[in-house]
Amino acid sequence: MSEATGEQTQDVPPFRYTAALANEIERRWQDRWEREGVYHAPNPVGDLAEGEVPGDKLFVQDMFPYPSGKGLHVGHPLGYLGTDTYARYHRMLGRNVLHTLGFDAFGLPAEQYAVQTGTHPRVTTEQNISIMKRQLRALGLGHDQRRSFATTDPDYYRWTQWIFLQIYNAWYDKSQQRARPISELIEEFRSGKRSTPDGRPWDELSKAEQQEVLAGYRLAYLAEAPVNWCPGLGTVVANEEVTAEGRSERGNFPVFRKNLKQWMMRITAYADRLLDDLDRLDWPEKVKTMQRNWIGRSHGANVYFRSGEHTIEVFTTRPDTLFGATYMALAPEHPLVDELVTDAWPEGTDERWTGGKATPKEAVAEYRLATSQRSELDRQEAKEKTGVFTGAYATNPVNGKQIPVFIADYVLMGYGTGAIMAVPGQDTRDWEFAEKFGLPIIRTVQPPTEDFSGPYLDDGPAINSANDSGLDINGLGVEEAKKKVIAWLEDTGHGQGTVQYKLRDWLFARQRYWGEPFPIVYDENGIAYPLPEDMLPVELPEVEDYSPTTFDPDDADTEPSPPLAKAKDWVEVELDLGDGPRRYWRDTNVMPQWAGSCWYQLRYIDPHNDERMVDPENERYWMGPRPEIHGENDPGGLDLYVGGVEHAVLHLLYARFWHKVLYDLGHVSSEEPYRRLFNQGYIQAYAYRDARGAVVPAEEVEERDGKFYYQGQEVFQEYGKMGKSLKNIVTPDEMFERFGADTFRFYEMTMGPFADSRPWSTKDVVGAHRFLQRLWRLIVDENTGEVRVTDAEPTVEDLRALHKTIAGVRSDYDGLRFNTAGAKLIELCNYLTKHYGAKGTPRQLAEPVVLMLAPLCPHIAEELWSKLGHEESLVRGPFPEADEQYLVEDTVEYPIQVNGKVRSRMTVPADASEEELRKAALADEKIAALLGGAEPRKVIVVPGRLVNVVA
């Protein structure tokens, strides 16, 4: 059986472009590229400078990969190949291109492995990085390797810590809308320009009191904050890491709200700028929308409702509906509830309001207990509105009406003021509540129809909205009505216009080992001290056990104890921080994984600089604003950032925040890190399950007549991510072995639009392979290995085909349309094969084809280029230019339509005027016959396209 394969290979011509030959070529060129440093991009200054740099530059970046130990599947490199192709194209055009790839190497998998096996996470991480580097190298990526690093390198995280200190030592000056050094704030306090909270002079405050005041301003601050404590993991998790069911995304353990002292980042100070500057970015609209929703700015008003001697403050985005407020609802946790609740039910209290209790106090206590016992899941899934009356009434400021005050769990303490004015006429939740509790419903916006039922949420003229104190908004639209009501509230002292955000401050601490330690120590009184720059980096200590202390997953009354706390010798240090040698205790938290990826683009620019995070001159060159190219509003940043849409909110928002702080403090010249963002699609794959629902190996499934079979049994197709559990993984290594890297690259880049997700199909890869074989054969004799190009002059037809392709391919590469660029190259190759397959290709045609292919398939292109007699690598071009004279045709064939349907065709000179086209079309026999002598009503002439006769 196996003998057959041996005979097969004997028949293959010795110099055919096979996988084996491809592999040999690829390895050889990868070695040469590395040896010659062809992808090195010079900097203006510093250790990577080589004299004058070209003014024309391009900074391309892929989203930071985590070096997983599992190795890559064919879906992973998609983005890297896209940026590589784009970068190569621009490098060939003569631009200075910065493209490299580092590793976001702190993270949980290595730490969990350490917990299980005792292997140091650094060991695992370094192994994984070297595996990944080998795979990336085999793809033929044109990275400047000198600029690669991992976030776990002390040389890198030294600067992550340094940036943390910059943020810690800064505050947000609202009047100037920018961050300033904390020292300037202290000076304002000291000089009395700004008064302290209790009015005492600054220097009379104790150190602890001063620190407490400053903590209210610092952009990185310690706060007793409600956090998501997960005893099962032994750590606190961010909101984003908690599932809708109130459990940890990882491990699926219960998560409890608990007050703990934690590092926070005051990202909310930047909410407006983060929102407004989205307009200056060249990003997918989808991602901008997601960020806008996440920041969630809403304009509205805070309104004061008097209830006895208390004032209940509510936030509303619809102050125009104030006349329709028929009750109030407070979050059950609202602090005012205890004060408001009355001893007895007012006379005639509706039974539905009492929760079946004898007094409001009992009802409130009961309801609060019930609420606290319900899980997040229950509260979210509950469709039925619940609540109880507090016994208290409040006064609606616009009309003096007394309205009942309820507590209800659909009101959240964490949003707005934790209290709402309920307007059933214009709010679905309030409507449902009002119906259930028999509360009045007053419409204050006119619905479009008389028989409209339910709450009306859209715009319309205000009704029932006027009082005797000078407020009348009847007839006004929502926006105008809002403005007028806000003005009235402010004039009369009943409220004021405000802005609310959904965005919360960023919880910036993890109780883990494998992360950046904080450059902070505490004295015996718990006062925090930032370490001076010369004590950086604070390196991770060795520990015997990498796990945080975990607890019974259901025990909410436990406290975090991070692994670093176990390194006693490291935690307790004697330092001289200016007050002489004293004893301090290190912070035992580490930074979250986002920290390292918030600023890595800056380090790519100046990876070895040990004086600064990045030299300003280098930063300005690679990232500075270029208004002359990108318009006067250009914020600067990367020229192209490519990655999956899954990072639309968190990573991209956090990185923008850090970058803006660094900009405010004068460390960078760009206002945004990523000028242009592109989300590549995902490569997915089919998977198959048998009748029992068990997954079967996708590779062994056969298709017959639209049905699928595995070992003779019918199986059923589904579509999803590549992964072990679906048994549908295909690896780049398999593809290299069967076809070579260039074939793999070409297939992956041309199987569909870069932005779209699409299914992998191994059987289709052969198409790309055949194309490269054909192209190879145009230039190399398969039997002798000799170059078979000729000095023959190409025909005009040849040149038309060539230059049309050049123009198309250029614009496709520019627009990241690699699939259509590839199709155009195949088309040209097929044309050449047809005309010259038998007699050898004119050099004038062969060379441009090779050059145009180079961004997609660099190895085979280099090999052919060198066979064509060029000693220099084609990495820096040239790239063919289209000659206009071959792009215009002498004659054009026009379709002639009658009433939009093609009825005839004509060939006319390309420069025919509209009038000539019109005459020629009407003179056409078939058209004349169809018109039957009648005058056409209208003739539409679209130059270059068609003529349409309207009969």
| Least distance from RNA to the Cβ atom of residue 128, Å | 25
| Least distance from RNA to the Cβ atom of residue 473, Å | 17
Q: Considering only CA atoms, which of 788, 877, 909, 680 is closest in space to residue 54? A: 877
Site for RNA (CB under 7 A): which residue of 699, 899, 910, 919? 899
Q: What are the distances in angstroms from CA 551 to CA 109, 355, 562, 702?
A: 20, 37, 12, 50
Distance CA 744, CA 538 (A): 44
Which residues neighbour 1 within 8 Å (Cβ) at sequence distance 6 or greater?
A: none
Q: Considering only CA atoms, which of 571, 514, 595, 664 is closest in space to residue 156? A: 595
Distance CA 29, CA 35 (A): 10
- CB of 272 closer than 8 Å to CB of 297: yes
- CB of 262 closer than 8 Å to CB of 227: yes
What does the DSSP 8-state code read for residue 53? P
- CB of 596 closer than 8 Å to CB of 151: yes
Residue 98 or 408 with smaller CB distance to RNA: 408
- CB of 414 closer than 8 Å to CB of 326: no
Q: Which of residues 193-232 bind RNA (CB under 7 A)?
A: none
Q: Does 259 bind RNA (CB under 7 A)?
A: no
Site for RNA (CB under 7 A): which residue of 261, 905, 919, 926? 905
Distance CA 511, CA 587 (A): 10
Residue 271 or 331 with smaller CB distance to RNA: 331
Q: Which of residues 806-825 bind RNA (CB under 7 A)?
A: 817, 819-820, 822-824
Which tokens in the block code for residue 348?
């005639």
Q: Does 461 bind RNA (CB under 7 A)?
A: no
Residue 551 or 776 with smaller CB distance to RNA: 776
Residue 32 or 770 with smaller CB distance to RNA: 770
Residue with tokens 């004021």: 496
Q: What are the distances in angstroms from CA 773 to CA 240, 474, 510, 752?
A: 49, 77, 54, 21
The count of chain residues that interact with RNA, using the rule CB under 7 A, is 95
Of 98-106, 562-570, 849-857, 893-901, which segment contacts RNA by CB under 7 A? 893-901
Q: Does 377 bind RNA (CB under 7 A)?
A: no
Site for RNA (CB under 7 A): which residue of 151, 465, 728, 773? 773
Interface map 4-43 toward RNA (x if CB under 7 A): ---xx--xx------x------------------------
Distance CA 514, CA 600 (A): 18
Residue 294 or 529 with smaller CB distance to RNA: 294
- CB of 259 closer than 8 Å to CB of 222: no
Q: Does 893 bind RNA (CB under 7 A)?
A: yes
Residue 163 or 825 with smaller CB distance to RNA: 825
Q: Which residues are annotated as a binding site for ATP?
A: 724
Q: Which of residues 303-332 bind RNA (CB under 7 A)?
A: 315-318, 331
Residue 325 or 640 with smaller CB distance to RNA: 325
Residue 767 or 840 with smaller CB distance to RNA: 767
Residue 159 or 256 with smaller CB distance to RNA: 256
Q: Which of residues 618-657 bind RNA (CB under 7 A)?
A: 645-646, 648-649
> Rg for the chain (alpha carbons), in Å?
35
- CB of 13 closer than 8 Å to CB of 782: yes
Residue 220 or 896 with smaller CB distance to RNA: 896
Residue 397 DSSP SS3: coil
Residue 525 or 907 with smaller CB distance to RNA: 907
| Least distance from RNA to the Cβ atom of residue 838, Å | 9
Site for RNA (CB under 7 A): which residue of 120, 659, 769, 810? 769
Of 169-177, 609-617, 790-798, 894-902, which segment contacts RNA by CB under 7 A? 894-902
Of 71-79, 389-397, 406-414, 586-594, which segment contacts RNA by CB under 7 A? 406-414
E strands along 38-182, which residues? 57-62, 96-98, 170-173, 178-181
Site for RNA (CB under 7 A): which residue of 162, 304, 415, 710? 415
Q: Which of residues 282-301 bind RNA (CB under 7 A)?
A: 285-286, 289-290, 293-294, 296, 298, 300
| Least distance from RNA to the Cβ atom of residue 759, Å | 5
Measured from the Cβ of residue 515, the count of other Cβ atoms closer than 10 Å reads 28
Residue 184 or 240 with smaller CB distance to RNA: 240
Question: Which uninterrupted H or E stretch holds 486?
Answer: helix 478-492
Site for RNA (CB under 7 A): which residue of 401, 774, 835, 867? 774
- CB of 46 closer than 8 Å to CB of 627: no
| Least distance from RNA to the Cβ atom of residue 379, Å | 5
Of 43-51, 138-146, 375-383, 627-635, which segment contacts RNA by CB under 7 A? 375-383
Question: Which uninterrupted H or E stretch holds 842?
Answer: strand 841-842
Q: Does 826 bind RNA (CB under 7 A)?
A: yes
Residue 691 or 838 with smaller CB distance to RNA: 838
Q: Which of residues 469-498 bind RNA (CB under 7 A)?
A: none
Q: Reply yes or no: is the peptide bond before residue 563 cis, omega within 30 of 0.
A: no
E strands along 624-700, which residues? 640-643, 677-679, 683-689, 695-696
| Least distance from RNA to the Cβ atom of residue 679, Å | 10
Residue 580 DSSP SS3: coil
Of 147-155, 541-549, 724-732, 943-951, which segment contacts RNA by CB under 7 A? 943-951
Q: Considering only CA atoms, which of 773, 784, 875, 896 is closest in space to residue 826? A: 773
Q: Considering only CA atoms, which of 100, 211, 277, 112 is closest in space to residue 636? A: 277
Of 97-105, 115-123, 828-836, 849-857, which segment contacts RNA by CB under 7 A? 828-836
E strands along 247-387, which residues? 256-265, 298-307, 310-316, 327-330
Site for RNA (CB under 7 A): which residue of 161, 588, 897, 904? 897
Which tokens in the block code for residue 164?
């943390």
Site for RNA (CB under 7 A): which residue of 344, 369, 382, 499? 382
E strands along 664-823, which residues? 677-679, 683-689, 695-696, 702-704, 707-710, 713-721, 758-759, 789-790
Site for RNA (CB under 7 A): which residue of 241, 427, 619, 862? 427
Residue 696 DSSP SS3: strand
Of 21-29, 446-454, 826-834, 878-886, which segment contacts RNA by CB under 7 A? 826-834
Interface map 58-87 toward RNA (x if CB under 7 A): ------------------------------
- Helix/strand/coil percentages in the chain, nearest 5: 40, 20, 40
The separation between CA 27 and the C-alpha centre of its own chain, rounded to angstroms, equals 35
Site for RNA (CB under 7 A): which residue of 573, 788, 827, 908? 827
CA atoms within 13 Å, Cβ hemisphere of 603: 27
Q: Which of residues 681-740 bind RNA (CB under 7 A)?
A: 706, 738-739
| Least distance from RNA to the Cβ atom of residue 464, Å | 18
Helices (H) and strands (E) in the chain, counts: 30, 33
Of 462-470, 861-869, 882-890, 897-905, which segment contacts RNA by CB under 7 A? 897-905
| Least distance from RNA to the Cβ atom of residue 105, Å | 24
Residue 1 or 176 with smaller CB distance to RNA: 1
Which tokens in the block code for residue 680?
């590549």
- Rounded to the nearest 10°, the torsion over CA 185, 189, 193, 196 is 120
Site for RNA (CB under 7 A): which residue of 195, 380, 725, 885? 380
Q: Which residues are annotated as a binding site?
A: 724
Residue 612 or 758 with smaller CB distance to RNA: 758
Interface map 144-183 toward RNA (x if CB under 7 A): ----------------------------------------
